């Protein structure tokens, strides 16, 4: 288990470093909320000392606080679990994140499940029917096109045409206004319907990597001797495709699932803001414009934590599934 302990310690060190750098970038970037608020009070004709006291009373720190002091205050808050109060909403940051993160997790899980399913099916088909040149070239060309389109550009296109202009699918909000939120069928159906368009954006921009990766793995497996032996034994094509090709192609991509999940979570920033969906992305988009440092830092903490834990989880569990991954680790 020494390899697992070392990986855990390394992940903790990476987490601290990433959080430190993120907070430093935020506090050093232009648009200090204290200075913005101070300027507003001064423009209203308040004396400077009174304006400074009002800023202090409203957001808890003064405009002349040095950057290193801000960094220390925010970093100590993250370490102790006190993310502070939102400047914009005047609510605890933890409460805002707790309300937003379930929506983002649902969005990413919904999209990733469909992406993996379709990616595996398309990848296996590309490899198994590699002799059908027209099918392979057409499918590969389509995948390459979607792989080259950023998700926010595709989101804008779908929003304007499929949503606003043609009205084929809902394009704003997480559910209809005439349903009662809760664990009931109308609400669940409405949520799935409203998330269809952003889900399509996420899937179409994510699926090329999965499909092409699976295709490459499956193509290599098809050249193995045991595939030729299975065909020589007269085994059914369906059994060869599932037992020998698909199963052996899926195991190597396991390591990508947790990492892809975390990066898709980061990618929801643009999509949730575009389609007016609740979640970490829309929360970050709203508070970034207002320079709400506590919320910005809180969201980045969640995203960084997800990335680090995803990578650590993959390392630990993949080593258990395939002991060869631990070769050299003692």
Inter-residue contact 193 to 170 (CB < 8 Å): yes
- Collect all residues with Cβ–Cβ distance below 8 Å to 219 and sequence separation of at least 6: 126, 127, 130
Distance CA 41, CA 128 (A): 69
Asked if 277 and 192 touch (Cβ cutoff 8 Å), the reply is no
Q: Which of 194, 213, 246 is nearest to 115 (CA)?
A: 213
What pLDDT is recorded for position 318?
66
Integer Cα distance of 106 and 277 in angstroms: 12
φ and ψ at residue 147, rounded to 5 degrees: -70, -25
Answer whether 173's CB lies under 8 Å from 273's CB.
Answer: no
**pLDDT number for residue 94:** 94
Residues 220-248 have pLDDT tens digits of: 888 888 888 888 888 887 788 787 788 77
Q: What is the mean pLDDT of the chain?
A: 87
Comparing 21-30, 57-66, 198-207, the range with the smallest average pLDDT is: 57-66
Q: Does pLDDT of 142 surpass 60? A: yes
Q: With cut-offs at 50, 70 and 90, classify the pLDDT of residue 260.
A: confident
- pLDDT tens-digit series, residues 173-188: 999 999 999 889 999 9
Domains annotated on the chain, with CATH? 97-289 (1.10.3720.10)
Find out whether 86 and 92 touch, Cβ atoms under 8 Å: yes
**What tokens were used for 187?**
């609400």
């Amino acid at each position: 288990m020494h390899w697992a302990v070392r990986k855990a310690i390394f992940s903790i060190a990476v987490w601290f470093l990433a959080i430190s750098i993120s907070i430093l970038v935020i506090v050093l970037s232009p648009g200090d909320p204290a200075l913005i608020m101070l300027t507003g009070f001064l423009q209203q004709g308040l004396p400077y000392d009174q304006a400074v006291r009002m800023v202090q009373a409203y957001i808890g720190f003064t405009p002349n606080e040095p950057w290193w002091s801000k960094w220390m205050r925010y970093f100590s808050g993250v370490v102790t679990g006190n993310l502070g109060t939102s400047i914009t909403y005047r609510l605890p940051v933890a409460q805002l994140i707790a309300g937003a993160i379930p929506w983002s997790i649902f969005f990413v899980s919904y999209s990733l499940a469909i992406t993996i399913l379709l990616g595996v099916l398309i990848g296996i088909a590309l490899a198994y029917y590699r002799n059908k040149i027209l099918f392979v070239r057409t499918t590969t060309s389509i995948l390459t096109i979607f792989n080259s389109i950023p998700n926010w550009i595709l989101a804008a296109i779908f929003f304007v045409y499929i949503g606003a202009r043609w009205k084929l699918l809902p394009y704003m909000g997480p559910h209809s206004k005439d349903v009662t939120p809760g664990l009931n069928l109308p609400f669940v159906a409405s949520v799935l319907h409203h998330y269809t368009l952003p889900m399509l954006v996420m899937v179409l921009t994510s699926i090329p990597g999965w499909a092409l990766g699976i295709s490459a793995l499956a193509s290599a497996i098809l050249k193995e001797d045991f595939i030729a032996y299975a065909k020589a034994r007269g085994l059914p094509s369906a059994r060869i495709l599932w037992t020998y090709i698909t199963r052996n192609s899926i195991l190597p991509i396991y390591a990508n699932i947790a990492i892809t999940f975390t990066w898709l979570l980061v990618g929801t920033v643009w999509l949730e803001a575009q389609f007016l969906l609740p979640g970490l992305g829309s929360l970050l988009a709203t508070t970034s414009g207002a320079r709400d440092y506590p919320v910005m830092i809180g969201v980045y903490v969640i995203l960084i934590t997800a990335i680090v834990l995803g990578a650590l989880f993959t390392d630990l569990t993949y080593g258990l599934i395939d002991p060869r991954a631990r070769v050299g680790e003692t």
